[in-house]
Structure 1
Amino acid sequence: MTRLDSRGLPLSTASDRAVERYREGVDLLLSAWPGVAEVLDEAIAADPDFALAHAARARLHVIRTEVAKAKARIATAEEIVARRGTERERSHVEILSLAINGNSAKALERALAHAEVWPRDVLILSLPLGAFGLFAFSGMADHDQARVDLCERHARHFDDNDWWFLTYRGWAHAENGNVAHGRALTQRGYDLRTENANAAHALSHALYEGGAHDEAERLIESWLPRYDRSGILHGHIAWHSALGALERGDPEQALSIYAEHIQPSVTAGMPVNVVSDTASFLWRLKAYGHNVPAGLWQDAAAYSEGYFQKAGFAFADVHMALIAAATGDKAAVEARVKAQMELIDTGALPAGPVVPAICRAALAFADEDYAACVRTLAPVAAEVVRIGGSGAQREMIEDMLLLALMRSGETAKARELLDRRLHRRPSSRDTRWHGLLAA
């Protein structure tokens, strides 16, 4: 009897228990829901030679930045699949191995080719998607469009009840500017499976991109208590709520959310989220004219010492530079920029010169040299998208340029940028800033 995964693809195992646990584990993994490790371990216990269960477990390890464990687990999957796996399973494991072992460009190439043959292999199709996927971190300037194209190319293979595909297809459209369509798709995905942190997250992004800030906050307020604090997106979804509080000019509420859900001592989030969320929140708090309580920057810096010390991961590089600049560690910023320039010379930093430019601009902004910040950041502003992440995350860098323009007296350019932003997305904060410029 052929045993199938949740999307109808054959699995090389004779254990019904292993199949049932694997299907549940993958769905938990795709919804960023707690319990993935335990469920996949049950699948492996039921059949120790179930390669795809080991591969999914490796994927969870790498999401949690447990790199050594991920490499060991994917090596086990490779050994098993070589002797008892189908062509699809061998390709599946090989692609995850490429990604886990740092060969992201090849992993992306192979994942796209794999999707042409097995589009319903959703664990592989998921790799290029999302704000932290292989497309987003490829250094491409058009990664938002690439995600839309990938989803539309394979949409015919999914019905209207596939909660995972609806979520990511909708999020891709919302991030790429087709907000109403993206929101409708994402809402349907969320409604089909509300115990899905990726759907709640994607829907909050769609609401944000549509200027529906109050709706986004109500969504998070009602949904987050249902999501265990051990969930990897708990702190990050709360970060969206904290930004909403800053948007409406309530720094006390924003800091309360930060203290309860986001700061390193309380979150179980992925390190890339913890570093970026703490850095960007505290930077916004200060830049918007509010006080950052004593010790918060130092706590963020202490946490970051355990991660991303080597330059080359553009999204992390930018946030590590923000933390170093805010804590007065000019030497750390300069050393990171030097390392980035060397990587650019060898073609090993796909995002290119925009990365050191943002790091230098952050240092200038922290030093209140706003004219230097403008000189450094303005020429590369159109390339910021190359660092990856979401539009909401990258908006911080646009805020840096906008505030530097305002504070260096370049009022006309600041007003022009604000006009474009208000046309793209309603914002009470931008409206307040526009009023200050008009006064």
Structure 2
Amino acid sequence: MAHLDRRGLPLSTTSDLAAERYREGVDLLLSAWPGAAEALEAAVAADPDFALPHAARARLHAIRAEPAEARARIATAADLVARNGTARERSHVEILSLAIGGQPAKALERALAHLEDWPRDVLVLSLPLGAFGLFAFSGMADHDQARVDLCERHARHFAEDDWWFLTYRGWSHAENGAVAQGLDITWRGFALRRENANAAHAVSHALYEAGANDEAEVLIAGWLPGYDRSGPLHGHIAWHSALAALERGDTERALAIYGEHVQPSVSKGMPVNVVSDTASFLWRLQAYGHEVPAGLWQAAATYAAPAFPKAGFAFADAHMAIFEAAAGDREAVARRTAALTQLADAGSLGAGPVVPAVCRAALAFADADYADCARILEPVTCEVVRIGGSGAQREMLEDMLLIALMRSGEAAKARALLDRRLHRRPSPRDARWLGQLAA
């Protein structure tokens, strides 16, 4: 009998064990749960000529920022699938190879075409989705809508109880502004598989967009202890809880969560998460008028420096500029800004001129030149979405503009921005700021 994956696609293996371990490994990979590597290696051991476990293992190496290992494993998969693979499997491996090989635009183009023929190939469908997916990091201004459109285009191919598809369909809607609809869908996906960090993450984002921070904190406090610290999203999900505590003014709890789960010395997360989580948390803490305990900035910056030493990754660059500006390293910010401007002028930076503008604004804010910060940020506010990431992550830059407006005496503009934000999402912090402006 032919072996099938979890959603009915044929697998080129004659081994029952290899097929079962591959299905298990993909489930664990898609739920960001520990054990995926071991399951996929067991599939390889059961059938060394089966290409797809090698490809999935390569994807896992890429997620963990292990590029050399990822390239080696996808090369093995490509060799095997050329000799013993279906058309779907060959296309699957090719797309992963493009993504791993640093060709995201081609990977996205090929993925979208592939999904027209094999929409239930979820490892390929996962690539464009999420806050760090091919759409989000494409530089598109409408990547939130693009994710919704992709999910809705293929929704008819998925069962109503498909935990993975529900998670990403719901999260896509929540990020795109349909928060109530998205929250309902993500909750359903989470209920079907609670051992799913991507679902806990998606629900946390949807609750944030709904202004339900207290509910998010309760959820995370009850769920996180069951998620091993080796899980790639452990520190990032805790970051959501720390932000919720900070927003309601509980600085002591926010710092405790940061110290126990988020800071580089304890987090096992992906470098892009560790860098963005630490930079944004510490920046918010300081910008909201609280003291950053001694050593936290330096420890996070020391971790970040070798992680993203060169300019060109827009989302990381925005957060690296925060570190460099906080350290008062004007030369580092200037070098990063110049490199990004050159890339943007050459059309080699998908997010375009907004990225060097963010770097300049971060330095102006750190220098307490709030009028200049607002002057730089205000014209590009609608373009900040192009750096990728989630709404919760990008809100730091909107906060930067808002605080700069308040501190430079632009009260009317600050009130207008606060009114729009409160209309979009209830926030006790924004309500306090609006009250201060009214007084």
| CA offset digits 1:278-321 (Å, max 9, x no partner) | 00000000000000011111001110122111111100000011
Match of residue 226 from structure 2: 226
Q: Secondary structure at the match of 1:155?
A: helix
Q: Distance in 2 between matches of 1:345 and 1:76?
A: 38
Aligned partner of 1:371 in structure 2 is 371
Q: Within 5 A, what are the aligned runs for 1:195-210?
A: 195-210=195-210
Q: Which amino acid aligns with 1:164?
A: W
Q: Name the counterpart of 1:180.
A: 180
Residue aligning to 2:108: 108
- Give the match for residue 362 of structure 1: 362
Mapping 1:216-255, distance limit 5 Å: 216-255=216-255
TM-score by length of 2: 0.99
**Cα deviation per residue 1:361-380 (whole Å; 9 max; x = unaligned)?**
00000010001101111110
Does residue 1:311 correspond to 2:311, yes or no? Answer: yes
SS of the counterpart of 1:229? coil
One-letter amino acid of the counterpart of residue 208, structure 1: Y
Q: For the residues of structure 2 that align with 1:382 and 1:16, how far apart are their CA atoms?
A: 52
Residues 1:44 and 2:44 aligned together: yes
SS, match of residue 305 in structure 1: helix
How far apart in 1 are the matches of 2:26 and 2:378?
A: 43
Q: State the alpha-carbon separation in 1 of the partners of residues 48 and 324 from structure 2.
A: 45
Aligned-pair distance for 1:329? 1.4
Residue equivalent to 1:154: 154
Q: What is the correspondence of 1:272-421 to structure 2 with a 5 Å cutoff?
A: 272-421=272-421
In structure 2, distance between residues paired with 1:306 and 1:86: 41
* Aligned amino acid, residue 367 of structure 1: D
**What is the alpha-carbon distance in structure 1 between the residues aligned to residue 309 and residue 8 of structure 2?**
42
Encode CA deviations 1:213-261: one digit per residue, 9 max, x unaligned. 1111111011101101110000000000000011110111100000000
Distance 1:281 1:217 in 2: 16
| Paired positions, count | 439
- Which residue does 1:434 correspond to in 2? 434
User: 1:4-28 CA distances to partner (integer Å, 9 max, x unpaired)?
Assistant: 1111100111111110000000000
Give secondary structure in 2 for the equivalent of 1:198: helix
Q: Letter of the aligned partner of 2:214 in structure 1?
A: D
Q: Tell me how far 1:134 sits from its aligned partner.
A: 0.3
SS in 2 for 1:265: coil
Q: Counterpart in 2 of 1:139?
A: 139
Q: Distance in 1 between matches of 2:263 and 2:327?
A: 16
User: Within 2, Cα distance between the matches of 1:114 and 1:24?
Assistant: 23
Aligned partner letter, 1:392: A
Give, in whole Å, the separation in 2 of the partners of 1:71 and 1:124: 17
Measure the CA separation in 2 of the matches of 1:431 and 1:305: 36
Distance 1:360 1:424 in 2: 28
Structure 1 residues 158-199: Cα deviation after superposition (integer angstroms, max 9, x where no partner)? 011100000000000000000111011000000000000000
Q: C-alpha deviations, 1:56-84, integer Å up to 9, x for none?
A: 00000000110011001100000111111
Counterpart AA for 1:355? V
| Segments ≥4 residues shifted beyond 4 Å | none
**Other-structure match for 2:6:** 6
Aligned-partner Cα distance in 2 for 1:4–1:333: 52
Give the aligned CA root-mean-square deviation in angstroms. Answer: 0.6
Q: Measure the CA separation in 2 of the matches of 1:138 and 1:161.
A: 30
Q: Determine the C-alpha separation between the residues in 2 that align with 1:405 and 1:345.
A: 29
- The corresponding residue for 2:71 is 71
> What is the deviation of 1:272?
0.3
- Kindly state the Cα deviation for residue 344 of structure 1 after the two structures are TM-superposed: 1.1
User: Is there any run of 5+ residues in structure 1 with no aligned partner, and where?
Assistant: none
**Aligned AA (1:177):** G
| Distance (Å, rounded) in 2 between the aligned partners of 1:346 and 1:396 | 28
Unaligned runs of 5+ in 2: none
Query: Per the alignment, in what secondary structure is the counterpart of residue 306 of structure 1?
Result: helix
Structure 1 distance, partners of 2:109, 2:33, is 28
**Cα distance in 1 for residues equivalent to 2:364 and 2:286:** 15
Looking at structure 1, the residues matched to 256 and 130 of structure 2 have their Cα atoms a distance apart, in angstroms, of 28
Give 2:269's aligned residue: 269
1:123 match: 123
